């Protein structure tokens, strides 16, 4: 048998590794195609490498092509798969450096092409200094530009999501004057408005100029370099522009090959990560990572969740099944975390807007507390918000905004959401306590108590 993998990053190589563990090279040949220069790297670490927090680019690479070759996975670097023939069971790949094309037959095909940055027409300009942040090559290009002559002094980051705020921090650490443009009413729109306002206030305090409701219309260049970003409300000078407008599933090749996609634009799969078509799963075709559509466990709705955590888990599930085992991927609950300088932001489950869209009736509870006992040195304030279903009291979602030791508390809340705990049940959780680590009533417990009170008040009302 032969397994061909399209995309040699998290999902693809997790699948290849798991399949190899279960079938020896004489039983299963594995060939992976990668159009870039790296395998199995942490794209999430790119902003921190650019900022200088991570000094070594190679530290972001989990396994090199040579290591995969040694493990029995043949990797064709700088080869882009340009066609899939499901009838003939082969792919066509273009050699991006040597030229020409090759054909590779397969028995099993792993589609792990990832995602591509959202790039509007106005962002496609002739001139240097405009960058996406998707690959290590993108990161390398930004690093080079930051050291170019003349050195950039003014940065504009377009998009106030996770990548946007992380890259704004990176630009601040390089000493640039930074403007963050966001078209919605707040940065970090994945959290509720009241929590987003806290994020904005903290970002403003870092010296980053935040402009919400900003509708970008174009980018001006001169003498081969970016000069400004044009918005409906005026022009913002820029020596470097970073695009943080999100990503979409990289499924163009799949669609061209007759493979259907779901409502999010990602490939639809079953629980075992087999691609699903109009008549059920497509024999011998698997998909995982940022190119697939997954299901939110709370709302039951399809969603696109481009995170390395999901890509690795989905790839592992696919590889186990390809190798003859049995595994399933149960869906996601939208857990995410980020930081801007010393501000930490985390969420899990549904936001208020998402809960409303899914049809839930709910109450919310927001508390201000501290990361440690108030009398212990270094205690920092944090805000915890809970969203609970009105009838059942089930925790639907939670958000945290705070500083040191705040964000990772979201993991306890994610476990509660995953296991459909009620906020009343959570009030009795046996969470750890010592003054250096938490108040005697942890912020999670205080929020659960307040949410329980809110449910009681709603019933009495």
Q: Dump pLDDT digits (tens) for 366-406.
A: 999 999 999 999 999 999 999 999 999 999 999 999 998 89
Fold agreement between 2-116+248-322 and 119-245: yes
pLDDT at 461 over 80: no
The fold for domain 2-116+248-322 equals: FAD/NAD(P)-binding domain (3.50.50)
Cα–Cα distance for residue pair 23/1, rounded to 1 Å: 10
b/e code 341-374 from CB counts within 10 Å (16+ = b): bebbbbbbbbbbebbeeeebebbbbbbebbbbbe
pTM over 0.85: yes
| Across 21-47, average pLDDT | 95
Q: What is the largest CA-CA distance in the chain?
A: 73
Question: What is the three-class DSSP state of 231?
Answer: strand
Angle 308-322/10-22 helices, nearest 10 degrees?
Answer: 30
The fold for domain 119-245 equals: FAD/NAD(P)-binding domain (3.50.50)
| Across 42-51, average pLDDT | 94
| Active-site residue flag, 341 | no
Name the catalytic one among 2, 37, 44, 90: 44
**pLDDT over 90, % of the chain:** 90
pLDDT in the model for residue 311: 97
Cα–Cα distance for residue pair 145/152, rounded to 1 Å: 8
In degrees and rounded to multiples of 5, residue 196 shows phi and psi of -60, -35
What confidence category does residue 436 fall into, taking pLDDT thresholds of 50, 70 and 90?
Answer: very high
Residues facing residue 33 across a β-bridge: 6, 76
pLDDT tens per residue, range 50-82:
999 999 999 999 999 999 999 999 999 999 999
Query: Could you please report the per-residue DSSP string of 45-84?
Result: GHHHHHHTSS--GGGGBSS-HHHHHHTT-EEEETEEEEEE
pLDDT tens per residue, range 307-355:
999 999 999 999 999 999 999 999 999 999 998 888 899 999 999 999 9
Cα–Cα distance for residue pair 379/249, rounded to 1 Å: 42
pLDDT in the model for residue 342: 86
Residues facing residue 75 across a β-bridge: 32
The answer to whether 381 and 430 are in contact (CB under 8 A) is no
| Across 244-260, average pLDDT | 94
pLDDT in the model for residue 460: 84
Domain ranges in the chain are 2-116+248-322, 119-245, 336-455
pLDDT in the model for residue 340: 84
What confidence category does residue 204 fall into, taking pLDDT thresholds of 50, 70 and 90?
Answer: confident
pLDDT in the model for residue 205: 86
| 310 cis-preceded (ω within 30 degrees of 0) | no
pLDDT in the model for residue 370: 94
Cα–Cα distance for residue pair 160/209, rounded to 1 Å: 12
pLDDT at 286 over 90: yes
pLDDT at 292 over 80: yes
pLDDT at 432 over 80: yes
Q: What is the mean pLDDT of the chain?
A: 95
pLDDT at 278 over 90: no
| Across 264-287, average pLDDT | 93
Domain 336-455 sits in CATH 3.50.50.60: yes
């Amino acid at each position: 048998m032969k397994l061909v993998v399209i995309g040699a990053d998290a999902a693809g190589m997790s699948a290849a590794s798991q399949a190899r563990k279960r079938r020896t090279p004489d039983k299963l040949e594995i060939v992976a195609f990668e159009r870039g220069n790296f395998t199995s790297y942490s794209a999430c670490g790119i902003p921190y490498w650019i900022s200088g927090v991570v000094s070594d680019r190679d530290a972001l690479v989990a396994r090199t092509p040579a290591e995969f070759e040694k493990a029995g996975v043949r990797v064709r670097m700088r080869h882009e798969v340009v066609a899939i023939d499901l009838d003939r069971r082969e792919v066509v790949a273009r050699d991006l450096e040597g030229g020409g094309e090759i054909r590779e037959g397969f028995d099993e095909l792993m589609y792990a092409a990832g995602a591509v940055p959202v790039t509007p027409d106005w962002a496609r300009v002739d001139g240097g200094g405009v960058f996406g942040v998707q690959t290590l090559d993108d990161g390398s290009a930004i690093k080079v530009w930051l050291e170019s002559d003349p050195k950039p002094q003014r940065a504009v980051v377009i998009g106030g999501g996770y990548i946007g705020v992380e890259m704004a921090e990176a630009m601040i650490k390089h000493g640039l004057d930074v403007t963050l443009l966001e078209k919605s009413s707040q940065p970090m729109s994945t959290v509720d408005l009241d929590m987003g306002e806290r994020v904005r206030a903290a970002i403003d305090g870092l010296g980053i100029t935040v402009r919400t409701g900003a509708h970008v219309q174009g980018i001006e260049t001169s003498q081969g370099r970016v000069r400004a970003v044009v918005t409906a409300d005026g022009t913002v000078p820029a020596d470097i522009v970073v695009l943080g407008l999100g990503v979409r599933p990289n499924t163009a090749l799949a669609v061209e090959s007759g493979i259907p996609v779901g409502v999010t634009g990602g490939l639809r799969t079953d629980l075992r990560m087999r691609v699903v078509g109009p008549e059920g799963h497509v024999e011998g075709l698997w998909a995982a990572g940022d190119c697939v559509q997954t299901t939110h466990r709370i709302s039951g709705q399809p969603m696109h969740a481009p995170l390395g955590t999901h890509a690795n888990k989905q790839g592992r599930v696919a590889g186990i099944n390809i190798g003859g085992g049995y595994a399933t991927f149960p869906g996601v609950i939208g857990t995410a975390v980020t930081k801007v300088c010393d501000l930490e932001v985390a969420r899990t489950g549904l936001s208020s807007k998402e809960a409303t869209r899914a049809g839930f009736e709910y109450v919310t509870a927001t508390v201000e507390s501290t990361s440690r006992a108030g009398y212990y040195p270094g205690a920092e304030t944090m805000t915890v918000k809970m969203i609970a279903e009105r009838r059942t009291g089930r925790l639907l979602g939670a958000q945290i905004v705070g500083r040191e030791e705040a964000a990772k508390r979201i993991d306890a809340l994610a476990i509660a959401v995953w296991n459909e705990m009620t906020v009343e049940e959570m009030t009795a959780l046996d969470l750890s306590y010592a003054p250096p680590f938490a108040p005697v009533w942890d912020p999670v417990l205080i929020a659960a108590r307040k949410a329980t009170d809110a449910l009681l008040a709603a019933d009495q009302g």
